[in-house]
Structure 1
């Protein structure tokens, strides 16, 4: 789905290559840096510089087309700064958070969008999917007990000087993590890989097409298997929900025919999970340390939000506030978990950090029409996954801003069933949300 008037030159191809390197570094060597500057940021900046030098007008066009997304990120940053000042956050720490979270998000989105304008969504999403595939191959090697696969991650860890908690995964070989920073990060990237794959298929068949795409179903099943063998449970739940919604929309008769089989599977599932748990398969375990204290952590998160609805600021760390909740958790499951672990719920983390006013800003990214809602479908597994973990948009996960511009571009083109509508028809639509913007 390439823009017909885009004619990539040498600098454009150099920018795309640097973006591909950035995607690899962002997955496999996220903490690798020269002094205070992560190498992935240097390659991303170099990619943007190549694009600006090659075609400054189109780069400005990418900024213009992304302005609603930029405005939302800027509004979130402003809210975070105000809340942080009220919470007496150290200015240096506050500045660092703004640069690492909000400035990086805007920079990533604009550069990715500029690349989409030159090359289309396929090559740009392909950069991320290629980097993920490399990590996934290593993860499969780790699952199969291939020593070089574990040694590759250990070698990268030595270069990045991984903390002890991260080293635990590849020293103990307890859970495969590919080239990612941790198994949980691999799970997040698996969800983003499904979103990227969904957008690629939508670009091919036409956004809002109501036909079952068996290729997309097959890709989803492959990613389900990868999540299972790496012990990531929340992506499995999210992808199951994705398949159900996708099936009900595109092939409701098939879902109804399969319903009796699904009911039988639901009856047999507890027995199967029990057998798998006894065999040590992590995705079947529900009483391990990771899941036993989630309810207590969520209660702690709601308590903190209730104590300070205005928010704790960008330097918020829930562990620092454990003492205020100690008397309330005596009879809860795993009552000391919040003294060691963060809240483990992205949505509660964000509300605690920015305050409840963040909900008002978040309302501006909700879909307003069928095309936007259809594009949101690709993020269903991601939205479920982050419910159980800390990272998410503007909260530790910057990779989503490599993916979002493809969705923005697809929405702005207003494609219909079976292909892309004309740009003239697209320009007649009014977009009032950050997820899609008008075509220039």
Structure 2
């Protein structure tokens, strides 16, 4: 039996991961474990880092220690830690210790480490403590959650997204397609699915930096209205519309989509929006769409999904740092809610591999502009985003998450979908 005084940090880690580590680990107490020749090296540099890990087991404690500089990583670029995230999520297997073993480890490492250090300032409160911001998915709380993620800095987003400023999954006709070409193809695929024609009216919900608005207006002569809860996005989109001389066709509003007064749109597009509204809000969400479309009007919903329809909680890293109050479910649940609202489903497709490619490009962009990104938002925020992009890519690679496009139509009173016998777009 190992005595209390002999327990080291690396020894405790080895106890929890008896199958070994895929990377080298060292700690400030001089202990080490993992392959000597491993390409990736993690170094726990401070006692505060140990306190982060012990008081928030799992990804949250590791993220806190890394963001605050207490956990150092070498062997991967800080902008693109994909290989490390892949190892952590696919090759590292922890065994839950028995209560007696957990007590022995904590005693050996020191009770003083069970006092939680202050979390990084970028971290949001746990979901149950956000009640002061309003009830879950109330208008005020939704606005706060959206602003946390999207009102970072437009310049910082440009370092990741590239010239298109498009923050949704691209569509790659071939693996060699550039990111800009793939984002253009995504917008055009949506336009073709919606069967846009000159003079039509399009509503784009959660319009981001206005890419779909400008594409629909520029390429199809459509009158497009976009709404977003992110003030910086709305400002940037309005300026982009002016730069392209599209004011006569495009308008963007800093507005909750539920407050759009116009009706009888020919088409509605919604990209990356459903993840934010909450599963319980789906009936009202689709009721809004149905109410705002003309008979025969089409809805294109583009959103991140899970590979099944079983309910599960969002992980603490994503909920506290990336998408506060975000919720995912399977495509089947959303299709059911759309049908229950009165839509007829005409087409759906899974673009999972395309999102993995999109995230690969975004990580490469961030790596190219890493120094500028750090100067813009600080090293902690830049590291959070790098982790998020890498973990997202692993998730799509492993089929933990998917990306679906759903095309639905509002039937006219005679149940006419105003839809051709065969699709007119090339998917």
Do the two structures share a fold, i.e. TM-score over 0.5?
no
Considering fraction of residues, name the structure with more helix.
1
State the TM-score, normalized to the length of structure 2: 0.25
Larger Rg: 2
Q: Give the TM-score, by structure 1 length.
A: 0.25
Which has the higher relative contact order, 1 or 2, with Cα contacts under 8 A spaced 6 or more apart? 1
Q: Which has the higher strand share?
A: 2
